[in-house]
Structure 1
Amino acid sequence: MEVLAPGLIVSAARSGAGKTVVTAGLQRAFARAGVAVAGVKCGPDYIDPAFHAAATGRASVNLDGFALAPPVLAGLAAEAARRASLIIGEGAMGLYDGLATPTRSGSSASVARALGWPVLLVLDASGAAQSVAAVALGLARMPDAPRIAGAIANRVASDRHRRMVEAGFAATGIPVLGMIPTDPRLALPSRHLGLVQASETAELAARLDGFADVVEAHCDLHAIRAAAATTADAPLQPTTIRPPGQRIALAQDAAFAFMYPHLLDAWHREGAEILPFSPLADEAPREDCDACWLPGGYPELNAGKLASNVRFLKGLRHFAETRPVHGECGGYMVLGRALTDAAGTVHAMAGLLPVETSFAARKLHLGYRRATWTDTMPFADAGARCWGHEYHHATICGGEPGSLAAMTDGEANVLPPAGHRRGFVTGTFFHVIG
């Protein structure tokens, strides 16, 4: 049997502890040392994997413990491990945070247990000392805890602070694999959906090298690599979302960036060809395509430009007369009649779906979702159920009621029907994962 690359997951007690920066720093440090390192991300996230890819030079994949069945999860992890010699994964939120359900909670701990990978804790030491070790010990002693490989204390203020943190860990038996001082280089800009996208981050390569410099100086890279556990071999599984066409025009730029790589990979394996185009550059979907997909992203930050890009809008409308077009979240908003930006300015959109959305009347919509499609579409049959999530601040401020899918949240609580269909055009705020 093939021996696959070992992996571990960087996690924390809560969001904001520095997981992404430390993960990217570790990935970059190993890559600079000549290690074929790859990233993975637990949970539904589009932004962090792009930083992993920039740090490692290899695509990162999402391993979602809620939306992906265990065989699918195992197959994706094994495929990532076939393409690298070390996997440095990143958790979501806190280690045990997820749905309050006994199965498919989606937590980083559940993914680590399912894959047999240990967890490397990143703990914020600001405002605490010996108590940092107590937090680590509590995480390690939770029922059904994954194996804790060790801990990195982040934001250590001084040598005295470091000694106090070390004294706490000496009583726990949990290895301290790093003590990272407070450093202005360990920062990334953010906005309403999280970090600013990697593609929009100024001087990204220099930032990543700065992360790696700090990590190399203050972490035991040899011990961290040695702590990773071998990945079990497993075959890739088919996706629940079939390709919407054989030649798929995919909107891809700063306004349309939120597409899960494992879905595109699955479509490629089924023989589909993906042909990107940029609405922000006023490009239309190619005429030689037989389907168009508008992913989520940040159309609300680019509404004025999109509304003025006549070639894009005219080409999209022409395409939709004869071929299927689907929009997820931001793509759904652009397919609608109008989008109101944060300043309250109303921008006309494609007008292909009877919905109007607003980023001025903001409300956070966040969580796992199960969608049961009410009609057959190119990518799914009527009655088929898909797993995914919703994450946006926009609201529906006008239009007709939607009924493209019956919806529940991650705990099976019934939600109102969502999404619209008009002719060949469909769309919803729901992001498909599996």
Structure 2
Amino acid sequence: MVKLPRILVAAPASGHGKTTLATGLMAALARRGLAVSGHKVGPDYIDPGYHALATGRPGRNLDPHLVGESLVVPLLQHGSRGADVAVVEGAMGLFDGQIGGAGFASTAHIATLTRTPVVLVVDISHASRSIGAVVHGMRTFQPGLTIAGVVLNKAGSPRHAAEAATAVEAMGVPVLGILHRDDHVSAPSRHLGLVPAAERAQAAAALESLAERVAEHVDLDAVLELADGAPDLDAQPWNPAAHVRPATNDSPVVAVAAGRVFTFRYAETTELLEAAGCTIATFDPAHDPHLPPGTRGLYLGGGFPEVHAAALSANTSLRADLREAVLDGVPTVAECAGLLYLCRSVDGHPMVGALDAEAVLTPRLTLAYRRPVLGPDQLLGEAGTSTTAHEFHRTTVTPVHGERPVWSVDGMPAGFGGPTLSASYLHVHWAGHPDQAQRFADAVHAGSAHQRAPGPPPSLSVTPVLDVALTDPLRHHGDVEAGDGLLDFAVNVSHLPRPGWLEDALHAGVAASTRYPDASEAHEAVARRHGRDRTDVLLTAGAAEAFVLVARARPWRHPVVVHPQFTEPDVALRAAGHEVGHVLCRPEDGFTLDPALVPDDADLVVVGNPTNPTGRLHSADVLRSLMRPGRVVVVDEAFMDFVPGESETLTSEHSPGLVVIRSLTKLWSMPGIRAGYVVGDPAVVAELSAQQPPWSVGGPALAAVVAASGPDALAEQAQRARRAVRERRILVDGLAELGVEVTGSAAPFVLARLGRGTHAWLRTVGIAVRRADTFPGLDGTWARLAVREPTATRQLLTTLRSKDTWS
């Protein structure tokens, strides 16, 4: 038998002042120097936050629906370890519980299970003597329940309070205190209830005022005497270590969302994870720029992302980290607020974007206990496993589930699930279902072992991936993945130094920048190189500007981009207001293009050759077959100068509607000098030119175009192209030895199926590769690897080989 002094604060209905009295009692008793344990009946999100603020200990929940009747007393004892007194706050009316459950999970149910004396708080603002009848009815409604005292709330005057107190005491119940109307201690409301304590800037000061008021107007000695008279408890305290175990000797980090937005999670959740060998690291999604170092698991609990959507959206770097982690297979549990946060947006504010869904705030409140069943085998358990849960939200998510719904609720699929993800509106109390905590912890341990590798220490300083790419995946470019301290396989620009003749030309271009640039010499140089007329050529600020000009040139009815492909054409066409269609080349076909897949009514077709990121070199005949009257075909040859002899180029092709885009930035190591051009059908070139602002291409870039079109450049280009072939072969052969699937490439990069999580893991050991899941048609198993010098390539291959030894 264990002695635990305790009381339970209840009321006839919601709105009588349970939270005010319960929290005030906790704070007032703590001011006396007592260790106070705060508890809340039911799955409430918010009140335990006030309890924690008042007591300095975690607020805890007691709910037989979520954990079962047998665990209520052990959890009460666990939460009260080392406490002098426990104060339990009820929910709703004293006898209100699960609908149709005859009071199951009600405050009275908890009071009966724990044999705790009840202090009833009653709002008397609209009655006086009738309060005696209310108390009499509450006292006699359920035999075996002890209403040990009453606190009268919102008294209007001493005479009013005395009238009500006399009527109550005539029923044989002592009045322990009288609180008069005082709006200064009421907690402001929100669409889901009270504003969380963590969001109230003056919460501590308000709590101090409340403690003083309760201490002045409530007989604390009498309350403690009632608490001390509570019967001893015949049960052992709950112990998380008795329900879970560590899977390895490691202590992998589970990042747990906290702060002003994510204010709710059951205290036992993190205790179970710690008992399962995980290290808990909290982070604030509204403010922290990155995930905690070494994160190997994610727990995103409840809160109010819809209220703080602007702050969450503004934290772009953290959203990028989270999206990368989730898509790379870091085990993730997201409940309610966590589900919303992982969506593409909440009420139009960009969120993490790891789920293909949108969330919006609605007028309708969803509030219910649930008995869901797990869907297909996934992160939290096997298919068909039933559980108990709770929903509480005013938002909706569209669609309501993914391809692998995590739950079946009343026979309907719900949530987004998979081997490394569980995201839904449902809150599960893991003390009642420790097998789910074990499954999650096991996945974190397994992921940690798989991702660990020898190499640079964890303190390695790396530049994070910028989120602009991940807010809109089509705007993601490899340069944001490289950074100081990282071996760069992400950027597809040659690392060779620029030749002297090009440096001289660039310096001359800068020197001539005292006057407006004259593009005539560069136009002539390009026309001469490709055997074209001057009117067939348009100089552009890199290939990117060319795509913008194409997008603006006509009111395209049905533009189509062949993917996977450089995403800038999509971005430009969308920005110009066009609906863009996609033709997907499949990996099982080697990313070859089937012209029959291109819709007959497409009036614009954009295709890369060789294509970024696959490196696929399409035959000139296949591309010619795309041409037809009324259609413009744009061939992006930004990497054709890496192909020896430029086989399959169409720069010298004279066909109506055909234009070719070239870039000089990749081969010649000058991405900061935006130098490119368009050659092709002079009628289309003229349309593009009409969209271009004056002096679009600066003097240094024009000088570079002239230099890169001369005989010295053509000879140097041939050497660099042959070198790229040799170095690419070293990379491809090395990956093949590791059993890594690699696409056939004619470009200065290869597309490799490294597996989910490898992109992120390589980053932790100091190597940047280009994630490929931002290209339409590819998923997180792929990564693009730039061709580098053999020394760097061997370092990459050695690192990948070491990863296999840990898997």
Q: Deviation of residue 348 (structure 1)?
A: 2.5
Deviations 1:97-116 (A, max 9, x none): 11144577110100010011
Whose RCO is larger (CA < 8 A, sep 6+)? 1
* % identical aligned pairs: 35
Larger radius of gyration: 2
- Bigger shift: 278-287 or 71-80? 278-287
Candidates 234, 237, 244, aligned match of 2:236:
234
- Alignment check: 8 A CA contact 1:248 1:274 kept: yes
Deviations 1:95-139 (A, max 9, x none): 111114457711010001001101100000001001112111111
Q: Deviation of residue 84 (structure 1)?
A: 0.1
CA RMSD of aligned residues (A): 2.3
In structure 2, the CA distance between the partners of 1:13 and 1:120, relative to structure 1 (3 Å rule), is same
Candidates 423, 426, 429, aligned match of 1:430:
426
- Alignment check: 8 A CA contact 2:244 2:275 kept: no
The one-letter amino acid of 1:7's match is: R
- Alignment check: 8 A CA contact 1:352 1:422 kept: no
Candidates 310, 321, 324, aligned match of 1:315:
321
The one-letter amino acid of 1:250's match is: V
- Quote the residue 1:191 is aligned against: 190
Deviations 1:37-72 (A, max 9, x none): 111111011211111111111222101122121222
- Bigger shift: 319-328 or 14-23? 319-328
- Alignment check: 8 A CA contact 2:78 2:239 kept: no
- Quote the residue 2:337 is aligned against: 330
SS in 1 for 2:29: helix
- Quote the residue 2:589 is aligned against: none
The 5-angstrom pairing of residues 106-121 of structure 1 reads 106-121=105-120
The 5-angstrom pairing of residues 16-415 of structure 1 reads 16-102=15-101, 105-228=104-227, 229-232=230-233, 233-236=235-238, 246-286=252-292, 288-320=294-326, 321-340=328-347, 346-359=348-361, 361-398=362-399, 403-407=405-409, 414=410
Q: Deviation of residue 188 (structure 1)?
A: 1.3
The one-letter amino acid of 1:314's match is: A
SS in 2 for 1:327: strand
The one-letter amino acid of 1:272's match is: C
Q: Deviation of residue 140 (structure 1)?
A: 0.9
- What TM-score, normalized by structure 1, do the two folds share? 0.91
SS in 2 for 1:299: coil
SS in 1 for 2:66: coil
- Quote the residue 2:647 is aligned against: none
CA distance in 2, matches of 1:48, 1:165: 28
Q: Deviation of residue 241 (structure 1)?
A: 9.2
Q: Deviation of residue 250 (structure 1)?
A: 0.8
- Quote the residue 1:410 is aligned against: none
Q: Could you say which structure has the higher helix fraction?
A: 2
Q: Could you say which structure has the higher strand fraction?
A: 1
Deviations 1:199-244 (A, max 9, x none): 1213222211211222122111111111121451423165989999
CA distance in 1, matches of 2:360, 2:246: 30
The one-letter amino acid of 1:58's match is: R
In structure 2, the CA distance between the partners of 1:324 and 1:295, relative to structure 1 (3 Å rule), is same
- Quote the residue 1:411 is aligned against: none
- What TM-score, normalized by structure 2, do the two folds share? 0.50
Q: Deviation of residue 420 (structure 1)?
A: 1.1
Aligned length: 421
CA distance in 1, matches of 2:351, 2:244: 27
CA distance in 1, matches of 2:13, 2:399: 37
CA distance in 2, matches of 1:306, 1:191: 19
- Alignment check: 8 A CA contact 1:365 1:393 kept: yes
SS in 2 for 1:393: strand
In structure 2, the CA distance between the partners of 1:399 and 1:81, relative to structure 1 (3 Å rule), is closer
Deviations 1:371-425 (A, max 9, x none): 2111334443333222221001001244766721012xxxxxx252210126633
Unpaired stretches in structure 2, ≥5 consecutive residues = 433-807
Q: Deviation of residue 278 (structure 1)?
A: 1.7
SS in 1 for 2:185: coil
CA distance in 2, matches of 1:183, 1:83: 34
- Alignment check: 8 A CA contact 2:378 2:421 kept: no
The one-letter amino acid of 1:330's match is: A
